[in-house]
């Protein structure tokens, strides 16, 4: 219990003083607002999510509002957030919430897991941040903070381990509201102070209790961490083609898509992938559109 008590008070006090004012953290924020934010924040920084989240909630303040629209509108509104299949999953989840849960985001962690696009992390995050429950919430930021403070390693491995999950569970305060605040506080500490590159250890509330700092901040020596390429990849090609479809009022002739990406085999492959994923539809005359 010793290390738990030592970490809880300073981290919670730091969060109380330094937490960012984000719309999905407002006491008045709906569970739907929290759910939308969690899907948007997957692999996307807060600054890019904020305007899209605001526009989304203004247009679709409830799951029923979104479920009533075609999937293509969700893809259009997703804008340039990337990984647009998340928009389709959010639309599908809204439809299930309306059909099976009376239009209300489920409060149960197990039921949340049954929704499209909601995995272990997202279910725990919604249950914790929307409903104040006590769950282990392990995103990259939390894994990095606990890995450094408790484990003494600079960066977590590529995949989540059972040991990490057990360690996080052991550190979770017993009291439900405190546990929920602790989960978001550790996440915020990783986002603002205990960052992946150039951590601001001088401003960290638990620097004097950090195993990694005590060990002299040893460099990461695990398996090589792959940097994600972008230029010329299928992801970039898909994004370029989808941008053309999003910005068009109606259908788009093939010639317009050919102008957007010069490499013909890659363009054909990516366009077929967008159709297969439900992000675009191909009409009989060869034109394309959002679904």
Mean pLDDT of 278-286: 92
Span 243-259, pLDDT tens digits: 999 988 789 998 999 99
Instruction: Check residue 61 and give its pLDDT.
Output: 98
Decide if 38 is catalytic.
yes
Query: Has residue 15 got a pLDDT over 60?
Result: yes
From 6, 26, 38, 100, active-site residue: 38
Residue 192's pLDDT band (boundaries 50, 70, 90)?
Answer: very high
- Contact at 8 Å (CB) between 209 and 6? yes
Residue 158's pLDDT band (boundaries 50, 70, 90)?
Answer: confident
Lowest pLDDT segment from 2-11, 42-51, 140-149: 2-11
Phi-psi region of 132 (alpha: psi -120 to 50; beta: other; left: phi over 0): left
Mean pLDDT over the full length of the chain: 93
Mean pLDDT of 182-204: 96
CB atoms within 10 A of CB 43: 11
Percent of the chain with pLDDT over 90: 82
CA dist 75 and 87 (Å) reads 6
Q: For residue 279, what is the DSSP state?
A: S
Q: Which residues contact 93 (CB under 8 A, 6 or more apart)?
A: 35, 63, 115, 116, 117, 118
Torsion sign across C-alpha atoms 274, 33, 131, 135:
positive
Query: Has residue 1 got a pLDDT over 70?
Result: no
CA dist 128 and 125 (Å) reads 5
Instruction: Check residue 67 and give its pLDDT.
Output: 98
Q: Which helix (H) or strand (E) holds 108?
A: none
CA dist 168 and 187 (Å) reads 12
Mean pLDDT of 28-42: 96
Instruction: Check residue 198 and give its pLDDT.
Output: 93
CB atoms within 10 A of CB 14: 19
Query: Has residue 180 got a pLDDT over 80?
Result: yes
Percent of the chain with pLDDT over 70: 97
Domain boundaries, the chain: 16-131, 234-289
Span 53-80, pLDDT tens digits: 999 999 999 999 999 999 999 999 998 8
Mean pLDDT of 148-158: 93
Query: Has residue 216 got a pLDDT over 90?
Result: yes
Torsion sign across C-alpha atoms 106, 111, 117, 119:
positive
Query: Has residue 226 got a pLDDT over 70?
Result: no
- Contact at 8 Å (CB) between 178 and 184? no
Instruction: Check residue 280 and give its pLDDT.
Output: 95
Q: For residue 218, what is the DSSP state?
A: P
Q: What does 8-46 look like in DSSP terms, one character per residue?
A: HHHHHHHHHHH----GGGSTT--HHHHHHHHHHTTTS-H
Instruction: Check residue 249 and give its pLDDT.
Output: 79
Q: How many CA atoms lie within 13 A of 185 on its CB side?
A: 24
Tell me which CATH code domain 16-131 carries.
1.10.340.30
- Contact at 8 Å (CB) between 63 and 103? yes
Span 83-98, pLDDT tens digits: 899 999 999 999 999 9
Mean pLDDT of 144-171: 93
What would the two tokens of residue 265 be? 């085999």
Residue holding tokens 């769950």?
Answer: 135
Instruction: Check residue 2 and give its pLDDT.
Output: 45
Torsion sign across C-alpha atoms 270, 272, 278, 279:
positive
Query: Has residue 242 got a pLDDT over 90?
Result: yes
Q: Which residues contact 268 (CB under 8 A, 6 or more apart)?
A: none
Q: Which helix (H) or strand (E) holds 282?
A: strand 281-282
Mean pLDDT of 30-42: 96
């Amino acid at each position: 219990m010793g290390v738990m008590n030592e970490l809880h008070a300073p981290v919670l006090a730091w969060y109380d003083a330094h937490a960012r004012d984000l719309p999905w953290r407002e006491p008045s924020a709906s569970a739907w607002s929290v759910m939308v934010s969690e899907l948007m924040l997957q692999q996307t920084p807060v600054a890019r999510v904020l305007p899209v989240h605001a526009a989304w909630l203004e247009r679709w303040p409830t799951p029923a509002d979104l479920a009533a629209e075609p999937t293509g509108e969700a893809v259009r509104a997703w804008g340039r957030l990337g990984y647009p299949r998340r928009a389709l999953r959010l639309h599908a989840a809204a439809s299930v919430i309306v059909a099976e849960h009376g239009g209300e985001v489920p409060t149960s962690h197990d039921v949340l897991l049954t929704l499209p696009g909601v995995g272990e992390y997202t279910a725990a995050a919604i249950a914790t941040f929307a409903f104040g429950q006590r769950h282990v919430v392990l995103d990259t930021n939390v894994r990095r903070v606990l890995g450094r403070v408790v484990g003494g390693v600079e960066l977590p491995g590529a995949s989540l381990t059972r040991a990490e999950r057990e360690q996080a569970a052991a550190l979770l305060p017993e009291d439900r509201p405190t546990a929920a605040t602790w989960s978001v506080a550790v996440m915020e500490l990783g986002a603002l102070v205990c960052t992946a590159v150039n951590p601001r250890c001088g401003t960290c509330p638990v620097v004097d209790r950090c195993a990694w700092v005590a060990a002299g901040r040893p460099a990461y020596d695990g398996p090589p961490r792959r940097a994600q390429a972008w230029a010329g990849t299928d992801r970039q090609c898909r994004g370029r083609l989808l941008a053309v479809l999003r910005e068009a009022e109606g259908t788009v002739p093939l010639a317009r898509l050919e102008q957007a990406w010069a490499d013909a085999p890659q363009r054909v492959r990516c366009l077929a992938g967008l159709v297969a994923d439900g992000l675009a539809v191909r009409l009989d005359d060869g034109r394309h559109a959002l679904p």
